[in-house]
Chain A
Amino acid sequence: MLSLLKSAILYAVLLVWLLAVVMPLLWVFAGSLRSSREFVEDPFGIPWLITGSPYADNPDVDTPWESVVADFRKAWVKSKFSRFFFNSVLVTTLSLVGIISISSMASYVLAKFTFPGSKLVLLYFVSGLMVPAQLVLIPLFFQFTTLSRWGTALLAPFGYEVELHDTFTGLITIYIALSLPFTILVLTGFFKSLPSELREAGIMDGCGEYGVFRHIMLPLSKPGLVTAAIFNFLGIWNEYLFALVFMNSDSHKTLPLGLAAVSIQAQYRTDFGLMFAGLVIVLVPTLLVYIVLQKQLTRGITVGALKG
């Protein structure tokens, strides 16, 4: 009897937290379905879109469906959420490709070859974990012109010109560089766990060093690469501070940056319909990705933490 009471209490506490987590989200989704008139007259009820509007007979008042569509259209088209969304997809994808290829190459070499200073190189990378992003942020901002010039000089033979300020190139490069310490730490650990005999066998069969990496080691390390990619995905998709500092023009804003800018403007104009619509546009993809990748996400994140 006593244990029954105890588990009832435990369940109650769990349920309270469940509600605390779920209700605000449901509330935002419900809010995004409300018209501005509804926010004033019936802010806590079930949205009129579902129950039916009390103004259904009045042709001068927009139907709930019309006002919801208008809000989302305003967010997606006029406030450029479509643009922000596309930018975020682009920046995140290219960053991840860069992070995984560059880190896997470096990690493979650091895990499978010993050369003078190899331990020191690993330590050099890993020490970056201690550096808060803010420390790097200020000099990067003021050195970007110089760095752009260096980049242009470096890539001159290929006919490229490098501009890092307010460009995707700049932001992606920073994201790649900043995620190297963690990614290299995790991937080096992973490559170390693969048997070295595989490499020797591959060399014997005439694969060459690159062939061994590309056709033997890389396919085998897929679980590690996926974990690293997922871990970095969230950080980059949600990143705000660097985007805020480096992306000035509207057409280059990523989703978090655009959401913040639009919402704070909308708040001053008390355009809450737009705010809710914007939030939902940001939350839906996150929710979908979470539902699909939920297992890998929780594993990836805790693996990172437990190894670190």
Chain B
Amino acid sequence: MKRTWEQTCFIAVFLAPALLLFTVFVAIPGARALLYSLQKWDGLSEPKWVGFSNFVALFRDDLFRIALGHNLFLTVTAGSATILLALFFAAVLHRRVRGSAVFRVAFFFPNVIASVAVALLWLLLYSTTDFGVLNGFLAWMKETVGWPAVSLPIPFTGKPYLVYSVVPMLVWTATGFYMVLFLAAMEGIPESFYEVAELEGVSPFGQFWHITLPLIREVVVVGVVFLVIGSLKLFEAVWIMDNEWPSKETHVMATLLYQKVFSEYNVGYGSAVAVLMFVLVFVATLATLRFSRREALEY
């Protein structure tokens, strides 16, 4: 079909706003960040080209190594707990437990709360003041059963503990989302598979292991990618819980980036962190996708 002048105009006019916005506000800044990471710049004076020395400085800097370590720690701990719990709940609810709708709706809810509000909520739960409910509970336990034998209150959101205290919060928030994700995938599995397994006397766990899990494998992999990306970009949880001013003991990459750029005006350093985050997200995504494509099961 030959294209008329009207059609060409139509295409151009309809594409222009999206192309313009995306180019100016995403593509160009993205490319610029790569350049910034090769410069030494305070945001005001003339930038100086310094090659890869920002990246070298990064890996020599304890601050960054610790922050990266925190990200990896949170990815592994909170990530695996989330995936396991979500798989478990999805498998249980998939087998039509009574009241499964209630569980699904309730479990998903923390995911829609603003992460700032979630962090503040947990800050209050962890509080060392009179109403701090977790410390209150531990005090009650200690009084009644004599365990745990620690001095209370525990400063859960104090410097050395904060990174660990973030883990339950992340799991609390994310589990419902991944459960719903896995559940949606499980609903696509034909019921007959389970009927046959039932006849063959396969146990519920066997059914999960040999039928459900292999068939939703791709979605689980997608879930893992999401989790890894999410924990690499983590910001609000640490930022808010450490009163908008994290330090060496609590930094993650995103909070370090923010502080370096917007309060120390060390733009090159901050951009190098951003570029590394980008590379890590990219590699994590590609690696998991490559890994998952190996043997997709058809049914």
Contacts and interface: CB of A to CB of B under 8 A. Distances in A.
B145 interface: no
A102 interface: yes
A77 interface: no
Interface stretch (A9-17, A63-71, A220-228): A9-17
Contacts of B226: 305
A134 B262 contact: no
B280 to A, nearest CB: 9
Interface in B19-61: 19, 21-22, 24-30, 32-33, 36, 43
B103 A43 contact: no
Given A43-B131, A113-B11, A259 B120 contact: yes
A263 B120 contact: yes
Interface string B103-143: 11111111111111100111111000111010010000000
A142 to B, nearest CB: 6
Contacts of B22: 124-125, 128, 177, 180-181
Interface stretch (B69-77, B189-197, B269-277): B269-277
21 contacts: A14-B103, A17-B85, A18-B107, A27-B133, A40-B130, A44-B131, A106-B18, A106-B19, A124-B22, A125-B18, A138-B29, A139-B29, A173-B25, A177-B22, A177-B26, A209-B10, A238-B116, A259-B117, A263-B120, A275-B124, A279-B117
Interface stretch (B146-154, B173-181, B207-215, B290-298): B173-181
B244 A260 contact: yes
B2 interface: no
Given A11-B97, A43-B131, A139-B32, A20 B172 contact: yes
A181 to B, nearest CB: 8
A290 B236 CA distance: 22
Given A11-B97, A279-B117, A132 B124 contact: no
A230 to B, nearest CB: 10
A221 to B, nearest CB: 14
Given A18-B107, A289-B112, 17 more contacts: A22-B106, A24-B122, A25-B109, A27-B125, A43-B133, A124-B22, A138-B271, A139-B33, A141-B262, A173-B21, A180-B18, A180-B21, A238-B114, A240-B114, A241-B236, A286-B117, A305-B226
A294 B222 contact: no
Contacts of A306: 181, 184-185, 219, 222
Given A109-B15, A283-B117, A286-B114, A133 B233 contact: yes
A267 B262 contact: no
Interface in A214-250: 234, 237-238, 240-241, 245
Contacts of A184: 18
Contacts of B83: none
A237 B28 CA distance: 26
A43 B124 CA distance: 12
Contact of A272 (B3, B7, B129, B172): B129
Contact of A256 (B105, B106, B114, B285): B114
Interface of B: 3, 6-7, 10-11, 14-15, 17-19, 21-22, 24-30, 32-33, 36, 43, 85, 88-89, 92, 97, 102-117, 120-125, 129-131, 133, 136, 172, 175-177, 180-181, 184-185, 204, 219, 222-223, 226, 229, 232-233, 235-236, 240, 243-244, 254, 257-258, 261-262, 267, 270-271, 273-275, 277-278, 281-282, 285
Interface of A: 6-7, 10-11, 13-14, 17-18, 20-22, 24-25, 27-28, 31, 34, 39-40, 43-44, 102-103, 105-106, 108-110, 113, 115, 121, 124-125, 128, 130-143, 147, 150, 173-174, 176-178, 180-181, 184, 208-210, 213, 234, 237-238, 240-241, 245, 255-257, 259-260, 263-264, 267, 270, 272, 275-276, 279, 282-283, 286-287, 289-290, 294, 297-298, 301-302, 305-306, 308
Nearest to B243: A264
B105 to A, nearest CB: 6
Contacts of B258: 241, 245
Contacts of A128: 22, 26-27
Given A14-B97, A31-B124, A134-B233, A180 B26 contact: yes
